Amino acid sequence: MIDHELQATTEPGRRFVAMAEEHAKDFATRADQHDREASFPFENIKALQESGFLAAMIPEEFGGLGVESRLDQMIGMSRLARGCASSAIAANMHIAATGVMSRMWRWREGQPPQITSAVEALMRAIGARQLITCAPGTEAGTDLQSPMTEGVPDGDHYIVNGRKMFGTLSPAAQLMFVTFRIPDGDGYQSSMGIIPSGAPGVTNKNNWDAMGMRASGSHDIVFENVRIPAASVLPPRPWGVFDGSGADMGVALNGSLVACFLGIAEAARNLAIEMTGRRKGPKGMRLADRAPIQQLIAEIEVELMAGRAVVERAGRISDEYFDQYRLGEAPNDVSFALMKEQQCMKWTLQRNAISIVDKAMTATGGSAYMNGSPFSRLYRDVRAGPFMQPFAPYEALEFIGKFTLGLDPAPDR
Amino acid sequence: MIDHELQATTEPGRRFVAMAEEHAKDFATRADQHDREASFPFENIKALQESGFLAAMIPEEFGGLGVESRLDQMIGMSRLARGCASSAIAANMHIAATGVMSRMWRWREGQPPQITSAVEALMRAIGARQLITCAPGTEAGTDLQSPMTEGVPDGDHYIVNGRKMFGTLSPAAQLMFVTFRIPDGDGYQSSMGIIPSGAPGVTNKNNWDAMGMRASGSHDIVFENVRIPAASVLPPRPWGVFDGSGADMGVALNGSLVACFLGIAEAARNLAIEMTGRRKGPKGMRLADRAPIQQLIAEIEVELMAGRAVVERAGRISDEYFDQYRLGEAPNDVSFALMKEQQCMKWTLQRNAISIVDKAMTATGGSAYMNGSPFSRLYRDVRAGPFMQPFAPYEALEFIGKFTLGLDPAPDR
Amino acid sequence: MIDHELQATTEPGRRFVAMAEEHAKDFATRADQHDREASFPFENIKALQESGFLAAMIPEEFGGLGVESRLDQMIGMSRLARGCASSAIAANMHIAATGVMSRMWRWREGQPPQITSAVEALMRAIGARQLITCAPGTEAGTDLQSPMTEGVPDGDHYIVNGRKMFGTLSPAAQLMFVTFRIPDGDGYQSSMGIIPSGAPGVTNKNNWDAMGMRASGSHDIVFENVRIPAASVLPPRPWGVFDGSGADMGVALNGSLVACFLGIAEAARNLAIEMTGRRKGPKGMRLADRAPIQQLIAEIEVELMAGRAVVERAGRISDEYFDQYRLGEAPNDVSFALMKEQQCMKWTLQRNAISIVDKAMTATGGSAYMNGSPFSRLYRDVRAGPFMQPFAPYEALEFIGKFTLGLDPAPDR
Amino acid sequence: MIDHELQATTEPGRRFVAMAEEHAKDFATRADQHDREASFPFENIKALQESGFLAAMIPEEFGGLGVESRLDQMIGMSRLARGCASSAIAANMHIAATGVMSRMWRWREGQPPQITSAVEALMRAIGARQLITCAPGTEAGTDLQSPMTEGVPDGDHYIVNGRKMFGTLSPAAQLMFVTFRIPDGDGYQSSMGIIPSGAPGVTNKNNWDAMGMRASGSHDIVFENVRIPAASVLPPRPWGVFDGSGADMGVALNGSLVACFLGIAEAARNLAIEMTGRRKGPKGMRLADRAPIQQLIAEIEVELMAGRAVVERAGRISDEYFDQYRLGEAPNDVSFALMKEQQCMKWTLQRNAISIVDKAMTATGGSAYMNGSPFSRLYRDVRAGPFMQPFAPYEALEFIGKFTLGLDPAPDR
């Protein structure tokens, strides 16, 4: 069967995708074991670093692959996720951040020089395969715009206290990008600082124990009186406000994360095709030869085609946007329109991916329910999708609906 | 909120349901731990035996509760599953068999006397809370009508060899009802024999390790030259044939099994209502006060109402059928029409139950993805539903479609 | 094929359903023509009056059939709708009102004597087959609780002005039950009066021209300075308030209306079975012999079974409620819980009915798209379902969600 | 609101889309009337001819717009359908044929010279705005590969007899492309001939009376002893065989037809946004301000985004295919893979379009059910989608499933 899978649109993108396929093949051999043990795949992350995969978005001049297309980034991440979704979302935590860095570098004209040089330093280290970063942003009971983690100025330093969840990739990261609020009169401002994982007061709770994505190392991180220089803190922005600049950052950071779930769907579908072509019933008939199985496989294909299509479309629109605007500088409506496309993509893709895994299990039969089957992992991994930031599915609808109707799209939460 | 949950239709049924609710409350306290450890809940099964719950379908004269309504049986099992679905499907394995026994007792006139007395003996032991049974019927690569396990006559005994899967409740069962084929010329006949769990040659592989229903003890059971008296073997029937008598036995054994998944859905929904009424967002707004959450909860209620309705309807039709016909003696079309209602019930109920758990997780947020949350268990348990015998979902459609169109409804497999 | 269609639960109900089947057979022969012409089926309504069908809910002592079960009422109306849905919803407009009357009669103890005698007079006339009524309640831009039609007291009369939509059955009705508001200080009260269709100032606009339900005569009715005696006006209630008494009246009036759409679904499904069993493809294969058609028919059956199940369940719960409570006198929560079941029924039934008609068309092929095919009518008729009062589908979700979460369930509109 | 609608990818495509938007605006003013009267919009077709729209796919050297991109063709047709879907599918009947002609011209090297010159003549006439064609292919009870219309050789002529359905655009077409079978021994061969609409023996039955697409003039065409020169008949191919060359012709002819339904969905959605932003409830609240309406609009947006995405994806893949292969000359698997993408597109798009129209009606309220509302037309028009050739939805699944599983994908019919 000829399969029109997603194709990268640039030369660096094609190299990135090819590397993803190689790594995926390797990771697949260990995915079930890491899932079973909830162990962090240090060897996978190391392999990604050594091959240059983790530096894919870094300009070639700094040692990276120079991937600029966000669509290509999404496609590559989806390919990697076919082998091990946990490893893919872990890698994405770092790669998405490097995508932001290289954008800041490309648009450095007019940017405060200390930011530019900080970005350059990070990119050099990453390009030299010496640095891995993560960005634990989520906290319990609040949203991304309203961190409760607090940074209090203390001379030319900040003292940071708080707790982050879902610190994906944290076991392997040397640096963390941490959002916090800064008390300001009766209210707060919001900012982000760079905190070394080994800084005094930082504790990785090593407590990730979820239903799926078990090898992603998404631990809680606790900050107790962590002291960081003001120079490594971004200029403050309003706290608790969802505006266009939050929207495009959300797209920048989460587009390729969402795309990983396409890879899960493709893995499930490929398994289903392979198994139904092999397994036989009591009278020797292959599953693939049974008409109802053919209908089921077709429904999978229909959903997969739509999943690929929305990734392609959202990725292309995202590429057009970021070719035109510096991060955070587009008019609100333009950023919101971009975010809307991404949320529509996420909705369709996650729903279809979940359905594809479900139907693939149905097609192959009861063995799919066993922990010895990769389907068990895929079924649990794929359900992480709808929880991905910045919006729960019902919030996504709220955002999309309000924006479409010309209202302030910030969810009422 | 007033909740029109399912109500038993007879007095014994009401006692059964009340007991189910008591046990469920108790089991719920241990469900997560058994799930985590994949440990068999011996203490639950013991409690069910001691309370008389396991003897619910046994006539009062033999020490049972005298539940005769199959609808009431289904409702009781759904209630028990709210607390621990693994325990419920384990208990059901035994209770469904007792339902068949008491039917055979009620219709004993004209039945071979040795069968009647065997049934009576089983029922007395069960009513006296001294016997637990199970019925491992599934084998890899075949269907229920075509067992590959083989029983070869040897004088007034049979020598049984083979392997069964999904031996739910097997760790606690003293006796097993085992289907096997008997060589007959070029072909086979099919029968069922009673095999003590401790008989020489019986090995419980203790190997149940599935994604969900982890506490159900659904191990493989291997039979190696197991010798059983011919007197404990039912008269043979055609092998590999799906007819009305297979259909009504399927209904008799699996109706209350399917109903357990209603209980999972109700548990998830109750959790969602409770949690969304309590949890607050960054600005202090309760989840329950957010309009999109209200829409989501409403969708759950719509699906739950339909799930309850199909159970009620299929249960009532099943009661009418079994009031009229002895097991295996209705015309094929009548049995198939009954099976069709049950398969329609299963389809709607399983689909809705899966959707309800999914939406309940969405409504309560990312913590539902943690293994510390009951939702993790519910999400994995509920997916077992579509795999339940005798038909995979696509086979159910095949059966329903063919029967409705006046064709031979046996799946082409 | 044995088809477990819905069965009436009482003897009068069974007579009612049998009559419905007879009338349906007759109406079916004219349904397409009335649809094409948008002509009102006076001869159908006359036949229903003469057979006693229209008096079904009237006690036998007044010449009716004495049907008391609301479930039976729903089943009978669904049967009638199989033949001609327009005629069924037209008849329902009258029959639902008679159901309310006979309830008021049964619970007349403690009721104001003038109301009791008015009810008795209406029932006698209806039982004698001399009176047809309708109840045009809908107005543009408002809801049922907030009529804009106004009745201004003028001595012992009211002067009524306003305009009602969806005056189903109005061409055949001699009396109309009309809700209006009564100015009261800065606000309003709400009431209902009886207005003869021929009263001065009443104009039937004869303007019903909808996509479907074209033979239902659902014209606009205009009231210009219509003078009615205060004695034919009910005691006022608060205006604009949705409470339990509105809820149970909504259930009383609309349950059997919603059930009509089950009949549409059944008609479409029966056609599909008949046609696919007859039509052949290029190689002589019957549609029914094609596996994908069998899957499609099975999906129809699954949805139909659920549709029947929710009708049965909501009808039974409604029967229990009205056996216990006088209209408008149950605690709010009890009435809302009843309404919730009805709204859940409506949601599932309407969605499934629409899907069944759609799939039946798909199964039978392109001829279903022609106006010469009954499917054209069924496709257009069935879409009326979600619009049925008192809630649009999204409002139904709002009501269900809020009630379930313990909030005031009145839609925020 | 910024709306990322589909954008043409080439300069001629952009001109084509801009023209489509102009025409759509004009056609929209008459769409409801043509629908009501089932009248053929001669003035629309004339306007499309005069503006050069009908010659869009014709090379500029012959007077056309020179649109080569099939994606652009699809986008333009979807835009036109926003105004009047009947006119769009009528225009498409001609435009799709011109697309095939210009492909034959572009790949004329090695093609029989008489075919090339016939194509050139047709294109010159069309470019000169003097010729309109149609291609009535469907017949009752058979499929496109197995025409029952028969052409019997008679010297250097063929005598054609048969009846075609769905002769869209036939009232305005001077020439028809007609498939027929040629007796050949015990069997048949299949071919296509050009028949002037006014040839002796051709009767346009003028009998199109469907539920929707009422202005498309899709009449039956009867051929009685129609005599056509052998020179205007294509070389015969096997009869009754579905292979790759049927597949790519199906894509060539039907891709932009399917895309028209995107335009219907967009029209419905635009209406819903406009109306909910304007209409108010009893307390003065706009529909757009109600949270459940916002959720509904968001669901529409999600489905619309996916609909656009699958069109974009299928169009792009189609462009790549036709850049690489001459019609009918790709390996079977390559053509089938192309057809699979198109069928996946069709499935998602048609389902989403139907759902979007449905939800748009729900959002705007009961007035959408009136014949005076454009929604009535859109609801009836959109349902034509799943019937579009070459596969019914269940056949599409059969094709997709079999191809994906490595089997002969021809539907078993």
Contact residues on chain D for B291, CB-CB shorter than 8 A: 291-292, 295
User: How far apart (Å, rounded) are the C-alpha atoms in residues D356 and D363?
Assistant: 10
Contact residues on chain A for C295, CB-CB shorter than 8 A: 291-292, 295
User: How far apart (Å, rounded) are the C-alpha atoms in residues C39 and C23?
Assistant: 18
* pLDDT (mean) for B73-87: 98
Are A296 and D333 an interchain contact pair (Cβ–Cβ within 8 Å)?
no
Give me the pLDDT at residue D151, please.
97
Question: How confident is the model over D127-179, as pLDDT tens digits?
Answer: 999 999 999 999 988 888 999 999 999 999 999 999 999 999 999 999 999 99
| ipTM higher than the 0.90 cut | yes
Task: Work out the burial of residue A149: count CB atoms within 10 Å of its CB; fewer than 13 is exposed, 13-18 middle, 19 or more buried.
Answer: buried
CA distance to partner chain D, nearest, from residue A413 (Å): 13
User: How far apart (Å, rounded) are the C-alpha atoms in residues C54 and C101?
Assistant: 13
pLDDT, chain B, mean: 96
Q: Is the pLDDT of residue C301 over 80?
A: yes
Which DSSP state fits A236? Answer: P
* pLDDT (mean) for A300-325: 97
pTM over cut 0.80: yes
Q: Is the pLDDT of residue C244 over 90?
A: no
Question: How confident is the model over D194-225, as pLDDT tens digits?
Answer: 999 999 999 999 999 999 999 999 999 999 99
Give me the pLDDT at residue C271, please.
98
* pLDDT (mean) for A27-34: 98
Give me the pLDDT at residue D331, please.
95
Closest B-chain CA to D294: B292
- CA angle (C8, C9, C11) in 5-degree steps: 85
In the complex, which subunits touch C with 3 or more CB pairs below 8 angstroms? Answer: A, B, D
The answer for residues whose C-beta is within 8 angstroms of residue D29's C-beta and 6 or more apart is none
Closest B-chain CA to A212: B369
Closest B-chain CA to A370: B210
Strands B157-167 and B219-229: antiparallel
Of D133, D100, D132, whose CA–CA distance to D119 is shortest? D100
Are D407 and A289 an interchain contact pair (Cβ–Cβ within 8 Å)?
yes
Question: How confident is the model over C28-61, as pLDDT tens digits?
Answer: 999 999 999 999 999 999 999 999 999 999 999 9
Q: For chain A, percent helix, then strand, then coil, each to nearest 5? A: 55, 15, 30
Give me the pLDDT at residue A284, please.
85
pLDDT band at residue C353 using 50, 70 and 90 as cut-offs = very high
* pLDDT (mean) for C384-400: 95
User: How far apart (Å, rounded) are the C-alpha atoms in residues C333 and C340?
Assistant: 10
Give me the pLDDT at residue D205, please.
97
Tokens of B173: 């069962």
CB atoms within 10 A of CB C207: 12
In the complex, which subunits touch A with 3 or more CB pairs below 8 angstroms? Answer: B, C, D
pLDDT band at residue B328 using 50, 70 and 90 as cut-offs = confident
CA distance to partner chain C, nearest, from residue A292 (Å): 7
Q: For chain B, percent helix, then strand, then coil, each to nearest 5? A: 55, 15, 30
Question: How confident is the model over A165-202, as pLDDT tens digits?
Answer: 999 999 999 999 999 999 999 999 999 999 999 999 99
Give me the pLDDT at residue A347, please.
98
Question: How confident is the model over B364-413, as pLDDT tens digits?
Answer: 999 999 999 999 999 999 999 999 989 999 999 999 999 999 999 998 87
Closest A-chain CA to B282: A142
Give φ, ψ of D205 to 5 degrees: -75, -10
User: How far apart (Å, rounded) are the C-alpha atoms in residues D56 and D77?
Assistant: 11
Give me the pLDDT at residue D249, please.
87
Give me the pLDDT at residue B250, please.
86
Residue with the bigger pLDDT between A6 and B143: it is A6
Would you tell me the crossing angle of helices D291-324 and A291-324 to the nearest 10 degrees? 100
pLDDT band at residue B244 using 50, 70 and 90 as cut-offs = confident
User: How far apart (Å, rounded) are the C-alpha atoms in residues D253 and D322?
Assistant: 13
Q: Is the pLDDT of residue A1 over 90?
A: no
Q: Is the pLDDT of residue D413 over 90?
A: no
Distances (CA, A) of B95 to B49, B100, C297: 11, 9, 34
Closest D-chain CA to A315: D309
* pLDDT (mean) for D387-409: 95
Candidates B369, B387, B388, partner chain A, best to mutate (most A CBs within 10 A): B369
Question: How confident is the model over A71-82, as pLDDT tens digits?
Answer: 999 999 999 999
User: How far apart (Å, rounded) are the C-alpha atoms in residues C326 and B400?
Assistant: 43
Amino acid at A11: E
Residue with the bigger pLDDT between D63 and D246: it is D63
Residue with the bigger pLDDT between A252 and D331: it is D331
Give me the pLDDT at residue B221, please.
98
Question: How confident is the model over D342-378, as pLDDT tens digits?
Answer: 999 999 999 999 999 999 999 999 999 999 999 999 9
Q: Is the pLDDT of residue D282 over 80?
A: no
CB-based contact D76:D116 (threshold 8 Å): no
What are the E-state strand segments in D174-282? Answer: 175-184, 187-196, 202-204, 219-229, 237-238
* Percent of chain C whose predicted confidence (pLDDT) is above 90: 89
CB-based contact C167:C134 (threshold 8 Å): yes
Closest D-chain CA to A275: D405
Q: Is the pLDDT of residue C23 over 90?
A: yes
pLDDT band at residue B34 using 50, 70 and 90 as cut-offs = very high
Name the CA dihedral angle for C356, C358, C363, C367, rounded to a multiple of 10 degrees.
130
CA distance to partner chain A, nearest, from residue C397 (Å): 14
Contact residues on chain B for A398, CB-CB shorter than 8 A: 291-292
CA distance to partner chain B, nearest, from residue D296 (Å): 10
Are B305 and C334 an interchain contact pair (Cβ–Cβ within 8 Å)?
no
Give me the pLDDT at residue C224, please.
98
Are D292 and C367 an interchain contact pair (Cβ–Cβ within 8 Å)?
no
Give me the pLDDT at residue B3, please.
94
* pLDDT (mean) for A345-355: 98
Candidates B285, B290, B295, partner chain D, best to mutate (most D CBs within 10 A): B295
CA distance to partner chain B, nearest, from residue C347 (Å): 7
Q: Is the pLDDT of residue C208 over 80?
A: yes
Choose from B305-309, D111-115, D231-235, D252-256 the range with maximum mean pLDDT. Answer: B305-309
Q: CA quadruple B404, B405, B411, C2: dihedral positive or negative?
A: positive
pLDDT band at residue D227 using 50, 70 and 90 as cut-offs = very high
Give me the pLDDT at residue A170, please.
98
CA distance to partner chain B, nearest, from residue D289 (Å): 12
Question: How confident is the model over D84-111, as pLDDT tens digits?
Answer: 999 999 999 999 999 999 999 999 998 8
Tokens of B358: 């999914």
Amino acid at D12: P
Question: How confident is the model over D39-63, as pLDDT tens digits?
Answer: 999 999 999 999 999 999 999 999 9
Residue B152 host element (H or E): strand B150-154
Q: Is the pLDDT of residue C120 over 90?
A: yes
Question: How confident is the model over B151-210, as pLDDT tens digits?
Answer: 999 999 999 999 999 999 999 999 999 999 999 999 999 999 999 999 999 999 999 999
pLDDT, chain D, mean: 96
Question: How confident is the model over C217-230, as pLDDT tens digits?
Answer: 999 999 999 999 99
Are C2 and B334 an interchain contact pair (Cβ–Cβ within 8 Å)?
yes
Give me the pLDDT at residue D265, please.
98
Give me the pLDDT at residue C327, please.
87
pLDDT band at residue C157 using 50, 70 and 90 as cut-offs = very high
Residue A352 host element (H or E): helix A332-364
